[in-house]
Amino acid sequence: MAGTDMPLEELLGYLGVLANQSLSLWDVPEGATARLINVSENATYLVEAPGGYKSVLRVHREQYHSHRAIECELAWLEALDADKVVTTPGYYVGRNGDPIQQGRVEGLSNPRYMVLFHFVEGEAPDESGDMSAGYEELGAIAARCHEHVLRWQKPEGFERLTWDVDAVFGATPTWGNWRDAPEVDDSVRPTLEKVEATIRARLDAFGKAPDRFNLIHADMRLANLLIDDNGTRLIDFDDCGWGWFLYDFAAAISFIEDDPRIPDLKAAWVRGYRSVRAMSPEEEAEIDTFMMLRRMALLAWIGSHIEAPEPQELAPGFAATTARIGQDWMDRIGAGQDRA
């Protein structure tokens, strides 16, 4: 959870106090308490109260999203649900009429934005076995979301992060410079430099036409689908922003890009996508480029979030694996060009 030099354990202590003291900003039942359940860009808390009340409080990372950007996230989330594109979690409006609250706690110099979401029942799909059905559904959901943004009249002054080449490789990358990540040494750096150059060239040629580059979820993994008897819900829109539509597949295989099941999962995702929206052969051929863009972004993310448990677990060997699958990818597209 980057954004402060404070040790994570100390930071979470302060955020826990902030979360609990801020519950009064909403009309929650008496006796409600907040318990940490996840730490990534944000700190997420399960709020519970006697009588079975549950909700989910998201305490935002400092200086990551503006108030307006969070408003725009909630506007799209609400529009997708209202237009019956996909079911999304609702949110509570604070006592002051604003769904986005701001709080301070002694010990932290900057205030934090907070949003209280409805608790969503359901379980994420099982990722231990055959995930093809889940990925086919992911593809169809992604296509429905993409169709929606092409016709949706976005609110004036729409503001979200951009997930493009500059966001990953530019002068001020959103998740940091991949060169600063753990284990990026002389054994892998030359290959990774070539991977970056190849991604830049291919995506420059691919372009940013609105029917390819628009508003995307940007973190549409199986873990962000919750399924119960009432259907499938899509959660966690915190990363939604401007990006290539095909980046939604790359995000779907985050951290498992070297899994031998990926070709089958990609085929399932494309099959689901094409059941809703057309995808040209040219676009399909570029999917692996977006996979590598995402993988390089994740490498940078590990380096800039290394104080958190998940990046610490992922770091060993991640750079070397990124270089290996990057070289394999460059070999494949090079061979394809030679045969053309």
DSSP string, 179-193: GGSTT--TTTHHHHH
Q: In terms of C-beta density within 10 A (0-12 exposed, 13-18 middle, 19 or more buried), how is residue 96 classed? A: exposed
pLDDT tens readout for residues 245-275: 999 999 999 999 999 999 999 999 999 999 9
Comparing 163-167, 292-296, 335-339, the range with the smallest average pLDDT is 335-339
Give the pLDDT band (50/70/90) at residue 321: very high
Rounded mean pLDDT of the chain? 94
Give the pLDDT band (50/70/90) at residue 230: confident
User: Which amino acid is located at 97 in the chain?
Assistant: G
pLDDT of residue 40: 82
For 131-170, where are the alpha helices, taking DSSP H only?
132-151, 165-169
Average pLDDT over residues 204-214: 98
Question: Which of 116, 115, 122, 99 lies closest to 54 in space, CA to CA?
Answer: 116
Strand residues in the chain grouped as ranges (E): 33-39, 43-49, 53-59, 100-103, 112-118, 161-163, 213-216, 225-228, 231-234, 241-244
pLDDT tens readout for residues 80-92: 999 999 999 999 9
Strands 43-49 and 231-234, by their bridges, are: unpaired
pLDDT of residue 336: 45
d(CA 152, CA 85) in angstroms, rounded, equals 12
pLDDT of residue 129: 82
pLDDT tens readout for residues 233-252: 999 999 999 999 999 999 99
Give the pLDDT band (50/70/90) at residue 4: low
pLDDT at 3 over 60: no
Question: Which of 174, 152, 127 lies closest to 72 in space, CA to CA?
Answer: 152
CA atoms within 13 A on the CB side of 292: 27
Average pLDDT over residues 291-312: 95
Phi, psi of 2 (to 5 degrees): -70, 170
pLDDT of residue 339: 36
Interior CA angle at 234 toward 228 and 239, to 5°? 150
Write the DSSP string, 271-305. Answer: HHHHTTS---HHHHHTHHHHHHHHHHHHHHHHHHT
CA atoms within 13 A on the CB side of 183: 15
d(CA 211, CA 149) in angstroms, rounded, equals 9
pTM for the whole structure: 0.94
Phi, psi of 230 (to 5 degrees): -90, -5
d(CA 306, CA 317) in angstroms, rounded, equals 14
Determine what percent of the chain is predicted with pLDDT higher than 70: 97
Determine what percent of the chain is predicted with pLDDT higher than 90: 87
Average pLDDT over residues 167-193: 98
pLDDT of residue 340: 36
Cα 79 to its chain centre, rounded Å, is 19
Strands 241-244 and 161-163, by their bridges, are: parallel
CB 216 within 8 A of CB 245: yes
Average pLDDT over residues 165-176: 97
pLDDT at 291 over 50: yes
d(CA 291, CA 329) in angstroms, rounded, equals 10
More confident residue, 31 or 223: 31
CB 214 within 8 A of CB 242: yes
Comparing 2-11, 205-214, 291-300, the range with the smallest average pLDDT is 2-11
pLDDT at 59 over 50: yes
pLDDT tens readout for residues 113-122: 999 999 998 9
